[in-house]
């Protein structure tokens, strides 16, 4: 009986594993196969609530949302870790690690990251957030 429970638990965890949404650029192109797609790129370092709101704005019924995770010059988190966080978002269909020139529409998230850093520093120093 315990073996069956263990197997069922493992099957549920495998079903919930969103890392399978992280695919290569080539595989993403194959999976699209003429379907409508929105391809968005960003650093997501770290992934913030504002990133999620912006991604949600790009969701359209019947269109795939592919997010390409790029690397800033001095990342806080490893690219793979950021990709796993983005892949965990239900609205995201696939995640691609950027390692080449991208056709994706950038979301220019470096300003979001800088605002977040400034906010954290201000809170740490005891100043009121802006």
Side by side, the strands of the sheet bearing 22-23 are 22-23, 94-97, 64-69, 37-42, 105-106
| Range name among 15-29, 40-54, 93-107 with the lowest pLDDT average | 93-107
Side-chain-side CA neighbours of residue 114 (13 Å): 5
Q: Which domains does the chain carry?
A: 18-124 (3.40.50.620)
Q: Is 120 helix (H, G, I), strand (E, B) or coil?
A: helix
Q: Which is higher by pLDDT, 12 or 35? A: 35
Give 18's pLDDT tier (boundaries 50, 70, 90). Answer: confident
For 63-76, how does the pLDDT look when each residue is reduced to its tens digit (9 = 90+)? Answer: 999 999 998 888 88
Are residues 45 and 117 in contact, defined by beta-carbon separation less than 8 angstroms? Answer: no
Q: What is the pLDDT confidence band of residue 82, given thresholds at 50, 70 and 90?
A: very high
Q: How far apart are the first and last CA of the chain?
A: 57
For the entire predicted model, the pTM comes to 0.72
Neighbours of 22 (CB within 10 A): 18
What pLDDT is stored for residue 105 in this prediction? 58
List, for residues 104-121, the tens digit of each pLDDT value.
555 667 777 777 778 788
- Model pLDDT, residue 113: 75
């Amino acid at each position: 009986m315990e073996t069956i429970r263990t197997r069922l638990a493992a099957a549920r965890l495998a079903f919930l594993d969103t890392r399978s949404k992280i695919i290569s650029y080539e595989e993403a192109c194959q999976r699209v196969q003429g379907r409508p797609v929105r391809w968005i790129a960003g650093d997501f370092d770290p992934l913030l609530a504002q990133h999620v709101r912006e991604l949600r704005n790009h969701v359209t019924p019947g269109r795939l949302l592919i997010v390409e995770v790029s690397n800033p010059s001095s990342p806080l988190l490893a690219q793979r870790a950021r990709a796993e966080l983005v892949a965990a978002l239900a609205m995201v269909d696939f995640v691609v690690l950027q390692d080449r020139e991208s056709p994706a529409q950038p979301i220019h998230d470096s300003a979001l990251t800088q605002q977040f850093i400034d906010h954290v520093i201000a809170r740490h120093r005891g100043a009121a957030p802006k």
